[in-house]
Amino acid sequence: MAEDLAIITGSKAEQYQSLIPQIKGLLDGEPDLIANMANLTAALKEQFGWLWVGFYIVKKDELVLAPFQGPVACTRIKKGRGVCGSSWAQSKTLIVPDVEKFPGHIACSSLSKSEIVVPVIHNNQVVAILDIDSSEYDQFDTTDQQYLEEIVALVSFS
């Protein structure tokens, strides 16, 4: 697929429904995990304009920064710490309407107001997480969760 992304307007669901086939096209036939993570984060950032979109990969006992789009970020996060570490520990998506109200939130950027973190699961284990921050409060909901969980399932860790 050409590396052009068709940005569309419409409801959140319509935007995801347009984006998913494009992401599949970007990932199709490309075996490199880092390249695929990079294009996926760029596609999400371009479509939705969020503050920060990126991956952290599980390496031993911590999450390590992987491809991302946005301001500089925390490089390593321990399991159970902050929203990302909590999502990893619980093996579930976490939606945080106001990051300041999340116990133990790690403030990588003071501009971040809300967050969604989606675990990437391979062989029943979390191998990475997709972290998305918005500069607006209450940005994410179950629509984001549904489509982002579908999107991270496209990333091959085999």
Residue 140 lies inside a defined structural domain of this protein: yes
Provide the domain limits for residue 69: 50-152
Report the pLDDT value the prediction gives residue 3, as an integer from 0 to 100: 65
* Segment among 38-42, 57-61, 82-86, 105-109 with least mean pLDDT: 105-109
Q: Looking at the 3D structure of the chain, how many domains does it have?
A: 1
Domain contains 41? no
CATH number at residue 131: 3.30.450.40
Residue 128 included in any domain: yes
**Angstrom distance (rounded) from CA 42 to CA 49:** 10
Q: Residue 137 domain-assigned?
A: yes
Taking CA atoms, 8 is separated from 2, 28, 37, in Å, by 17, 21, 21
Residue 90 lies in a domain: yes
Q: Is residue 40 part of a domain?
A: no
What is the tens place of the pLDDT at every residue in 98-153? 998 887 777 777 788 999 999 999 999 999 999 999 999 999 999 999 999 999 99
Instruction: Note the pTM of the prediction, 2 decimals.
Output: 0.94
Sort 135 into a burial class: Cβ within 10 Å, 0-12 / 13-18 / 19+: middle
Q: Tell me the mean pLDDT in the region 25-33.
A: 93
Question: What pLDDT shows up at residue 134?
Answer: 96
Q: Is residue 19 part of a domain?
A: no
Name the average pLDDT for the chain. 93
For the chain, the 3-state helix, strand and coil shares in percent, each to the nearest 5, are 35, 25, 40
67 part of a folded domain: yes
The two most distant CA atoms of the chain are separated, in Å, by: 43
Q: Residue 1: its pLDDT value, please?
A: 46
Neighbours of 108 (CB within 10 A): 21
DSSP 100: G
